[in-house]
Amino acid sequence: MNTFLAAVVGLLAGVHAATWGMYKDAPHEGFSLSKYARSPMLGLGLGVLLQALAGIEPRRPAGLVVLFGVVYAVERALAEIYKTFLREEDQAKYFIPMQFHILGRVVRNRGARWLVGALYTAGLAGMLVAVARLERGAAGPHALITVLLVGSLGGWISAFGGAWKDAPSEGFQTLKFFRSPALAALFAAGLSTLTPDLLLITLAATGFTVASTETYKTFFFPSKPRGKFAGMPVRYPDMLRRRQRFVPVYVAIWAGVLAAVIGATHG
């Protein structure tokens, strides 16, 4: 039962991420079922793997909420590493390059990108190990200041990564830079009431920060193109209508997460 529930949670996290991505990209890139299914399938596998590794109890509402956030964070991290350092793609269709670049100039050398990607991935892994060691060394519940500082780690990584990628094309935006760390800290505070594990809190807070931020940017401003497509033509106008069919599923997933949060806090 744990494995089945973990697979379902991971699948839903992947569908959630795939839906906002499709909603913003499809008018410019078109819709591909194989591309849309990539995050759900990865999320499914990650749900099973991460539940087993972390020992999360998905039969409890608190476990469902934490696992959803953890899967979301790991799936998004893997997707961004792939798109930034490994994928070979024509960047001419983008206003903001998606491949690794320095001050807007894409690094064409594949070996150099792979090396930077390996160092970046190793750095992320090192941070997770450090958090895990901090967790093992704790003699009791973590102080709120520790939860806020450590729990915001993923938000800071997102902020610096986003500034590196976006600022050369659209300028540095102070509020945008601090948004992710602030949200991650707030989510970490809430998640600390569902699990005492600092590593799980940090990962889940990162996942919920990405999910909420992308929900806001995508569905509160549906007519505003993503930064990477700013000023680019809408090549598939039919997708402006077809993409609406996915919105009920997206809302239903959020409703399920909210129901699990309510169940966890009142259980």
> In this predicted structure, what is the pLDDT of residue 135?
86
Q: Kind and range of the H or E element at 127?
A: helix 110-136
> In this predicted structure, what is the pLDDT of residue 34?
93
> In this predicted structure, what is the pLDDT of residue 267?
67
How many CA atoms are closer than 13 Å to the CA of 110, on its beta-carbon side?
5
User: Inter-axis angle of helices 61-81 and 110-136, to 10 degrees?
Assistant: 150
Q: Which two tokens stand for residue 199?
A: 């590593």
Q: What is the pLDDT along the chain (267 residues), one digit of tens a residue?
A: 899 999 999 999 999 999 999 999 999 999 999 999 999 999 999 999 999 999 999 999 999 999 999 999 999 999 999 999 999 888 778 888 888 989 888 898 999 999 999 999 999 999 999 999 998 887 778 899 999 999 999 999 999 998 888 888 778 888 889 999 999 999 999 999 999 999 999 999 999 999 999 999 999 887 777 778 877 888 999 999 999 999 999 999 999 999 999 999 886
SS3 (DSSP) at 131: helix
> In this predicted structure, what is the pLDDT of residue 222?
79
CA 204 → CA 13, 63, 240, distances in Å? 12, 11, 31
- Residue 21 · residue 215 · CB < 8 Å: no
214-218, Cβ contacts within 8 angstroms, sequence gap of 24 or more: 214/17, 214/20, 214/21, 215/20, 215/254, 217/24, 218/20, 218/23, 218/24
